[in-house]
């Protein structure tokens, strides 16, 4: 576990005040998710930006794979692209999960409206393996 300020505050509350915020931006608690979204952390350290090409490749591969299974209306494509796990510019927790090779719940829920879970996992599992580990 990374020694973020929040972690240190939990381990040794007598040394680290719970009122202290991120020393870089001083606007939010410094926890693991904040490390990847803090505007003062170098953009190269943000896994969503670092893995931008992999996120795009995964998104496009998923879309083409699912569209090849059956005919779907245009709203499927529009709604699929609107999912926040594809937004690497202002990363959500879903984007962070994806860059770690984990399947966001809302992506599964969206796809499950059109396909059974067995089909979803059969298509997505090999594609997730293409992500490089962040650490």
pLDDT in tens, 112-131: 999 999 999 999 988 887 66
Please report where in the chains the tokens 């990363």 appear, as a residue. 91
Residue 134, in any domain of the structure: no
Is residue 93 located within the same domain as residue 30?
Answer: no
Measured in degrees and rounded to the nearest 5, phi and psi for residue 73 equal -75, 170
Residue 66: C-alpha distances to residues 59, 62, 63, 69, 102 (Å): 11, 6, 5, 5, 19
Q: What is the distance between the alpha carbons of residues 79 and 76, in angstroms, rounded to a whole number?
A: 5
Q: Is the pTM of this model over 0.75?
A: no
In a domain, 14, yes or no: yes
Residue 51: CA count within 13 A, CB half-sphere: 26
**86 shares a domain with 26:** no
Q: Which of 26-40, 46-60, 94-108 has the highest mean pLDDT?
A: 94-108
Residues 20 and 56 in one domain: no
Whether residues 71 and 23 share a domain: the answer is: no
**Which domain, by its residues, includes 121?**
48-128
Whether 135 maps to a domain, the answer reads: no
User: Does 42 have pLDDT greater than 50?
Assistant: yes
Q: How many domains does the chain have?
A: 2
Tell whether the model's pLDDT for residue 96 goes beyond 70.
Answer: yes
Indicate whether 30 belongs to any domain: yes
């Amino acid at each position: 576990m990374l020694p973020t300020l929040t972690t240190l505050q939990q381990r040794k509350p007598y040394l680290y005040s719970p009122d202290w915020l991120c020393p870089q931006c001083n606007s939010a608690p410094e926890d693991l998710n904040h490390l990847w979204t803090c505007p003062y952390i170098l953009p190269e350290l943000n896994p969503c930006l670092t893995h931008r090409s992999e996120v795009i490749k995964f998104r496009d591969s998923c879309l083409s794979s699912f569209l090849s299974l059956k005919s779907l209306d245009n709203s499927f494509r529009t709604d699929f692209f609107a999912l926040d796990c594809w937004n690497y510019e202002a990363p959500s927790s879903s984007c962070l999960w994806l860059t770690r090779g984990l399947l966001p719940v809302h992506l599964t829920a969206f796809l499950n409206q059109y396909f059974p879970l067995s089909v979803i996992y059969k298509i997505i599992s090999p594609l997730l393996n293409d992500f490089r580990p962040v650490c």
